[in-house]
Amino acid sequence: MTSTCAELLIDRLSKSGEGVATHGGRAIFVEGALPGERVRAEIREGGRVQRGELLEVLSASPARRASSCALSDRCGGCDWLHLDEAAQREAKQEILLSALEHIGGMQRDRLEILPPLVSSKQMGYRRRATLHFSGGQLCFYGRRSHRSVVVPRCPALVPSLEDLPGALSPMLARIARDVAAVHLVAAGEQRSLAIELKAPLRSAHQEACEGAMRQLRLAGAALIPPSGSPRLVGKPILRESDGKGTPLYLRPDAFAQVNPEVNAMLARAVVDRLGPEDPGRVLELFCGNGNLTFRIALRAQEVVAVESSVAALELARRSAREATATRVRFIQGDASKICQALIAEGERFDALVADPPRTGAPRIAAWASGLTVSRVVYVACDPAALARDCLELSKSGFAAKSLQLVDMFPQTRHVEAVVAFGAHGK
């Protein structure tokens, strides 16, 4: 592969967080470069996407700053530490609106843009982490690669987890060759871990967990073998409150939103987008551990909540047994199959709430139409998937009413959003 050096003017940030310039009629993606900057970069020729390696910033953006983490030039976790927070949010908003315009066919001036939901903590907010072993030490992956970066401590993690990667490494080193990944989770001062194994479960795995639990005062651990059921050691399921009287449960091998403060804001925003009055019957897809479910149920006549993960649904049902609002019915299974079955059975709902994974919910328009809902509230974690699903909803008669940026991940390019839709004429 050949390369050439060139002086570039950076126009914008891509959804992958890189600076974008135009050179020789082609877009050049430059890691670490910011809009408005003039930089010198080594452009690697060939390939569908042309990338440049940043060699020198000739004229810096006023939004550029020194990184607060010594690992940020290698670690893949916080890729925007060199950009101030106000500029981060502005870039994220533009990434969202650009995707909705160019992929979703929307006109931004027809959307109500609500104030962004912003974390008061710009570092030390992450209550979850996934690491892997390399050379007997726990690591994160490097930027846009599978290079290992040793992380003795991580300032992006909540204080109770910050030093845990370095403390855990020697305690789990003797089973490291059997470990595919280590998942950490915290709820306040409580901490637990899950070890994803690439070899059959052995007594040595449990002994290593028990030793770590004793010495580091961990609540428990979940051992996840390549096949078969997980083995829970101690009490790895952690309890927190949703702020409305219902406990929510976290487990290190089940999904949970990473930023507890912004997550609470997100839940309130979803309920607000359903309207000021009783939203009627609500179908919630991808409900996870009930993160949104019980808040919705406090206002709705009934919530039917669907989730494919058995572990997550076990947590949600545990919460339901202690819930203030009990008008919830959980269904375990694939969202598409469940929706098809509900449509075939003649079920009708007033509103649909969806919080899908990064791949989005490609069939959401058919589900919303088949179930005759008048409102859709969509929680997105990928701008392109959101835009594709918005386009399909628009074709099916649903108009996007409002967009709200959710800054769940400060110091990173990752962005979440809440979009509210109404059926045309309603």
Which candidate in 75, 78, 287, 381 is catalytic?
381
Please tell me the predicted confidence (pLDDT) of residue 366. Answer: 97
Question: Does 390 fall in a domain?
Answer: yes
Check if 381 is active-site.
Answer: yes
Is 70 domain-assigned?
A: no
Q: Please give the Cα distance from 108 to 291 (Å, whole number).
A: 30
Task: Say how many Å lie between the first and final Cα of the chain, rounded.
Answer: 56
| In-domain check, residue 385 | yes
What pTM, to 2 d.p., does this model score? Answer: 0.93
Ordered mean pLDDT values, 10 residues apiece, the chain (426 residues): 87 92 92 95 84 94 94 89 95 95 92 96 96 95 86 96 97 96 96 97 96 97 95 96 85 95 96 90 97 94 96 95 84 97 97 97 96 97 96 96 97 96 76
For residue 100, give both structure tokens.
């909705």
How many structural domains are present in the chain?
A: 3
- Considering the domain architecture, whether residues 306 and 356 belong to the same structural domain is answered as yes
Q: How far is CA 124 from CA 19, 86, 151, in A?
A: 26, 18, 15
Cα 330 to the center of its chain, rounded Å:
23
Q: Is residue 21 part of a domain?
A: yes
For residue 84, what are the CA distances in angstroms to 49, 79, 146, 341, 411? 27, 12, 27, 48, 8
Give the strands of the sheet with 19-23, arranged side by side: 3-9, 38-44, 50-59, 26-30, 19-23, 12-13
Residues 315 and 379 placed together within one structural domain of the fold? yes
The pLDDT of residue 325 is 63
The strands making up 398-407's β-sheet, listed across from edge to edge, are 112-118, 398-407, 416-423, 375-380, 351-354, 281-285, 302-307, 328-332
What is the residue whose two structure tokens read 């914008």?
12
How confident is the model at residue 245, as a pLDDT? 79
Are 336 and 391 in the same domain?
yes
Q: Give the CATH number for residue 57.
A: 2.40.50.140
Q: Running DSSP on this structure, what letter comes out for residue 180?
A: E
| Domain limits for position 181 | 128-238
- Per-residue confidence (pLDDT) for residue 15, from 0 to 100: 87
Report the alpha-carbon distance of residue 236 to residue 339 in Å, rounded. 33
